[in-house]
Amino acid sequence: MTKLSAQMSNSGGRWHLYVPLMNAATVWPEYDWARRSTVPTLAEREQALSALGYESAPDGEWTWVEDSDTPGDPTSPVRLIAAATIRPSTTGGAA
């Protein structure tokens, strides 16, 4: 079964989940949460993935990295980026 990566980030306030589809001539599947302050829970991430037609892979643990708007500037705002291994839903869906 195909394994892909889902990524989630917060840039400008809202959390945004997307599935980068490399070598595809389609728009990447994406999901936005309306709230701004809290990180989406694991259950909310699974619901978003399901709405897009995906699910976490058995080894699909979320990992986090930091980035910044201005590399090398310690005063630049920090951006959190998460990623997890996913696969097309085994129960059907939008993918």
pTM: 0.83
Cα 92 to chain center, whole Å?
Answer: 19
Query: What confidence tens digit (pLDDT) does each residue in 1-59 have?
Result: 567 999 999 876 789 999 998 877 788 999 999 877 789 999 999 999 999 999 999 98
The alpha-helical segments, DSSP class H, found in the chain are 42-52
For the chain, domain boundaries: 4-88
CB 78 within 8 A of CB 9: no
**So what's the pLDDT on residue 13?**
79
Q: How many CB atoms lie within 10 A of CB 12?
A: 8
How does pLDDT run across 64-84, given as a tens digit for each residue? 998 888 888 999 888 889 999
Q: Return the pLDDT at 94.
A: 60
